[in-house]
Structure 1
């Protein structure tokens, strides 16, 4: 049985004059210790997916349907008291900005110790000892001293390491990392991602990495979900999706990478923009931007179909695969 099984998850937001759909019947599984990536442009629904998995959607948003089964328990139907036993304890989340996550008026030690004591029957001395060990795991120098410091006294990279240490405090089975290096310098980003990968592998912790960076996904994950306008449009092994993308949108994302363009030439872009939630087109939501779109694409929503080890939501994939084979044999 999968550690996490999401089935037909739908999330909506109640606006003043209408209700919009942010996630439209998405389904996927995460195995124990498995690392998956969720990629797509801003507005695709990546972060909403992460927040939904911990039932952290706040009003006017709400989970309108589907299941979020974590170890067989449906998080979407849990009461707050039950959720507190899951959040931070068995599932942890790393947010984009550590300065928003960390409490500026509490020391690092207070925040770590209180987290431990809220979930475990420990003395303060025992909790401090565990906090020091976790800080040492993420290569924080002089961890005993850091316990007495406030977040503003530390660098951005060190704050993010502390966030990772806090996420691992209670030995969770799954970590959701939402753009964990966005607020950091490029030189520090690689170190943080390498650290996160090392810790997940050594502790056998599952990882859901939410990012727009396909380069990071290719190095960090075993499987990738590609999202567009609140839907999963491609799902499969990361290596296959990076090397041989099937959906035209995924192909566009790969082609837009800087390394895909010759020096001195313009970067390749996907024409148009992600549709607003209030203006999702009928049929395939990517059809207005897709050079392969047909009348069927513009009127009928494509279902997920399996092609080998990859699942794709596209009417034209079969034809495109046949054309590709013809070119190879010509």
Structure 2
């Protein structure tokens, strides 16, 4: 049985003049202890997916249809009281900016201890000792002193380590990490990702990593979902998607990586931009930016099908694969 099973999840936003679709019928599973990556450009629907899994979509957004089953229990239909029990306990989220996540007027200790007391029957001293242990796990020096400090007294890297410690505080089964290193210096990002991977592996915690960086996904995850305009357009084992992408959009993302370009050359990029939610094109949403688009692509939305080792939503996948094979033979 999957730890998390998402089926036909559709999220809409009721705007003043129209209703727009932010997620359009996405489905996926994650097993206990598995690490799943969700990648795509800004506006693809990655963060909306993460917020939906925690049932944190607020008006004017709402879940139009679908289900999110955590250990068989539908998150969409849960009461507010049940959601408070669930969040942090069975499923936790790491947000992009630690300064937004942490309360600036409470000490680190107050925030960690109150979280523990809200979910566990403990004395304040027992909760404090657990908080110290968790800070040590994320390599915070002098954790006893850090508990009495405020967020602004700590560096960005230190704050993000504390966010990870809080996410692990109640030993959740699943962590959703939404661009967890965006606000950090490049030199610190690798350390934070390595720490997150180490802790998830040692604690057997499932991880959903939301990012635009395919390089990070290749190092951190076992399976990957590629999203575009609120839809999953390719899914499979990370190794297969990185080494042999089937969808033209995934190929474009990989070709745009700096290591794919020789020194001194211009970086390759996908032409055009992600469509806005109010102007999703007919047919395949990627067709205006795709050099392989046909009339069928412009009129009919492709279904996601099993092709080789991955699932892909592309009308032209067989033709493109055949052309690629011919080019390799002629090379």
Using the alignment, how far apart are the partners of 1:297 and 1:143 within structure 2? 56
Q: Does 1:228 align with 2:213?
A: no
Query: What is the alpha-carbon distance in structure 2 between the residues aligned to residue 138 and residue 307 of structure 1?
Result: 41
Q: Distance in 1 between matches of 2:264 and 2:127?
A: 56
Distance 2:244 2:328 in 1: 14
Query: What is the CA–CA distance in structure 2 between the aligned matches of 1:308 and 1:321, rounded to whole Å?
Result: 10
Give the SS at the match of 2:170. coil
The secondary structure found in structure 2 opposite 1:326 is helix
1:193 is aligned to 193
In the alignment, the residues of structure 2 paired with residue 325 and residue 190 of structure 1 have an alpha-carbon distance, to the nearest angstrom, of 36
Q: How far does residue 181 in structure 1 lie from its aligned partner after superposition?
A: 0.2
Normalised TM-score (structure 1): 0.99
User: Counterpart in 2 of 1:18?
Assistant: 18
- 1:119-171: CA deviation from partner (whole Å, max 9, x where unpaired): 00000000000000000000000000000000000000000000000000000
Instruction: Please give the residue correspondences for 1:153-192 in structure 2 after superposition, counting only pairs within 5 Å.
Output: 153-192=153-192
Question: What's the counterpart of residue 257 of structure 2?
Answer: 257
Aligned to 2:321: 321
* Alignment of structure 1 residues 48-127 onto 2, 5 Å: 48-127=48-127
**TM-fit CA distance, 1:307:** 1.2
Work out the CA distance in 2 between the residues paired with 1:326 and 1:208. Answer: 37
Q: For 1:243 and 1:307, locate their aligned partners in 2 and report how far apart those are by CA, in whole Å.
A: 15
Residue in 2 that maps onto 1:211:
211
Counterpart CA distance in 2 for 1:71 and 1:318 is: 37
Partner of 1:39: 39
Distance 1:110 1:277 in 2: 40
Q: Deviations over 1:148-205 (max 9, x none)?
A: 0000000000000000000000000000000000000000000000000000000000
Q: Residue deviations 1:261-306, cap 9 Å, x none?
A: 1111111010000000000001000000000000000000000010
**Post-superposition offset of 1:325:** 2.6
Q: For the residues of structure 2 that align with 1:272 and 1:297, how far apart are their CA atoms?
A: 17
Where 1:145 maps in the other structure, the secondary structure is helix
Structure 2 residue 267 is matched with structure 1 residue 279: no
Partners of 1:230 and 1:110 in 2: CA distance: 38
Quick one: distance in 2 between partners of 1:155 and 1:18?
A: 43
TM-score by length of structure 2 reads 0.99
What SS does structure 1 have at the residue aligned with 2:264? coil
Q: Secondary structure at the match of 1:322?
A: helix
SS of the residue 2:171 aligns to: coil
Secondary structure (helix, strand or coil) at the match of 2:62 reads strand
> Displacement of 1:30 after TM fit?
0.4
Task: Identify the residue that residue 247 of structure 1 maps to in structure 2.
Answer: 247
Moved more, 23-32 or 317-326: 317-326
